[in-house]
Amino acid sequence: MESVNQDVVDHGILTVSNYPQPLETGYVYHQFYDWDLYFENLYLSYNGVSDFCFNNFGAFIALQKPDGFIQRSFGTKPFGLRQPFKPFLAQLAVLGSKQRGDNYEWLRARYYDQLAKFLDRWFAYDSDSNGLPVWDSADASGMDNQIRRSGQPGSFFNEGVDLACYLHQELQAMALIAGKLGNTDDQKKYLAHVDALARKMNTVFWDDKEGFYFDRNEKTGELNRLKSAAGFLPMWAGIASPEQARRLVNEHLLNTNEFWLKYPLATYARTEKDFYEGRRRGGGCNWQGPVWVPINYMVFHGLLRYGFKDAARDLAYRTFAMALDENPMTREFYDSDTAQGNGMGPFWGWSTLAYVMPLEFESGYNPMDLNGNIQPALATDLRIPWPRPASP
């Protein structure tokens, strides 16, 4: 952890032109991404570092268009300029506010309205007006090459289970912020939307025959029965019923022919015809089989939420062993059969959450809990000092 923290300080905290405050990234090529930012700051919260919940939030929201659109990435590469920031901005604001004395006043004058427009823009990506927005593409979803599930850039047809889960949590974060600021009418509106979205997801996405949540093709109206790890995220969001969770876990998650490989969790069922490990064919990130720590992290907390403690323990400790024991440095993603690290190396982004999963299992702590407190355990309990920048 100390070497990872040193990498964050030495290589991940940058001064960027046009932005007054230093910004943080997990990528050596100095690109800033949407959902990565949220998960990176979950890890930083363990170290008592909250600056980038505010700095990076401000940098992204400054890019907002009049219709509420915020691009998902900026930096040295022209990635995601026309694709929307995934719904994690309000959750990021809550994470930062809880670390600053549960103070939400910084959002009142300007950012609250911008967050509301940001959410409204997301729900406008819904051509059939059924309440379930669509992804632009696999790339925009973050699961870069699950193209059979989410399409090529500009597709705008996939009602993603993962997208709906993120929006469900984002609505809850907005309800919390509204309540903290005394906007009780807005709070009620957001909470009603939370309930309506959960009902819609269980009506549309759940396939009772398969016991799995599948995306829906908005253009055809049919479910896309491709088994991706996105199908487990309704447990993370608390949308699945106990019986639905039981079927997800027993029939699919723990199925060694689908997702529970030697180093779970495969991001794609092994039974899919285009499942494969290693790097993406043609270069880049691969989500058609390898382990990605943020998915493990969300599914782990879903398992705990529904009482699957043995599976949660196993997932936490296997993820920890994969990242720490089987690799000399933190990597971007991992082979779910061999634990071989792939992608960026060293990597000081969201894969760092692998190191705190056992701690969270043993303590029952969840920094994603919107109603919980933030515990900087690495700094206060384990007394791991936050490093100073290396001398030039």
Per-residue pLDDT of the chain (392 residues; tens, 9 = 90+): 788 999 999 999 999 988 999 999 999 999 999 999 999 999 999 999 999 999 999 999 999 999 999 999 999 999 999 999 999 999 999 999 999 999 999 999 999 999 999 999 999 999 999 999 999 999 999 999 999 999 999 999 999 999 999 999 999 999 999 999 999 999 999 999 999 999 999 999 999 999 999 999 999 999 999 999 999 999 999 999 999 999 999 999 999 999 999 999 999 999 999 999 988 887 789 999 999 999 999 999 999 999 999 999 999 999 999 999 999 999 999 999 999 999 999 999 999 999 999 999 999 999 999 999 999 999 888 888 898 776 54
In Å, what is the CA distance from 150 to each residue of 83, 157, 183, 265, 286?
A: 13, 7, 36, 20, 14
What is the per-residue pLDDT for 3?
87
What is the per-residue pLDDT for 391?
53
Contacts of 70 (CB under 8 A, 6+ apart): 60, 61, 63, 64, 84, 85, 89, 118, 121
The H-or-E segment that residue 171 falls in is helix 161-180
Asked whether the beta carbons of 137 and 157 are under 8 A apart, the reply is no
Cα distance between residue 382 and residue 374, in whole Å: 15
343 belongs to a structural domain = yes
What is the per-residue pLDDT for 280?
84
What is the per-residue pLDDT for 279?
85
What is the per-residue pLDDT for 284?
84
Asked whether the beta carbons of 171 and 237 are under 8 A apart, the reply is no
> Inter-axis angle of helices 89-99 and 51-61, to 10 degrees?
150
The H-or-E segment that residue 227 falls in is none
List beta partners, residue 217.
Answer: 158
Residue 323, domain extent: 2-380
Cα distance between residue 295 and residue 103, in whole Å: 29
In Å, what is the CA distance from 355 to each residue of 84, 217, 231, 317, 348?
A: 30, 37, 25, 9, 12
173 belongs to a structural domain = yes
169 belongs to a structural domain = yes
Phi, psi angles (nearest 5°) of residue 14: -125, 150
Domains of the chain: total: 1
387 belongs to a structural domain = no
Chain center to CA of 266: 16
What is the per-residue pLDDT for 382?
86
List beta partners, residue 224.
Answer: 215
239 belongs to a structural domain = yes
Model pTM? 0.97
Cα distance between residue 263 and residue 215, in whole Å: 25
CATH code, domain with 9? 1.50.10.10
265 belongs to a structural domain = yes
388 belongs to a structural domain = no
Contacts of 386 (CB under 8 A, 6+ apart): 5, 9, 47, 48, 49, 379
386 belongs to a structural domain = no
